[in-house]
Amino acid sequence: MNVNQVLEQLEKQLSELNTPNALRAAKFTVDSGFQSEVNLEYMTTTGLDTYIADTQFRSRNPLFKVSE
C-alpha cells in the first residue's frame, strides 16, 4: 500500500464520521517503510504537514558511526 492509498482510506473514514476537514489539521508521521521517491513526491502535492522517516539517516549521522 502506498501513501496515496492510505490517505484515500483515511479521507473516506473521516467523511463517514462527518469530520472531513480533520485531515487538513493533522500532522502525519510515516514509517520508513513508506519512504520512496513516489511517496515523497506525492506528499509534496497534498499540502499536508507530513514527516516521513529517512531510511539513510543513520548512515549520514556521525553519531551512529561510533555506536553499536
Give dist(CA 6, CA 26) in Å, integer: 14
Rg, C-alpha atoms of the chain: 15
The pLDDT value recorded for residue 34 is: 85
Kindly report, residue by residue over 8-54, the tens digit of the pLDDT: 999 899 999 998 788 888 898 888 888 888 988 998 998 899 888 88
Split at pLDDT 50, 70, 90, the class of 67 is low
Q: Which helix (H) or strand (E) holds 40?
A: helix 37-46
Indicate whether this model's pTM tops 0.85: no
Which grid cell sits at 7? 490517505
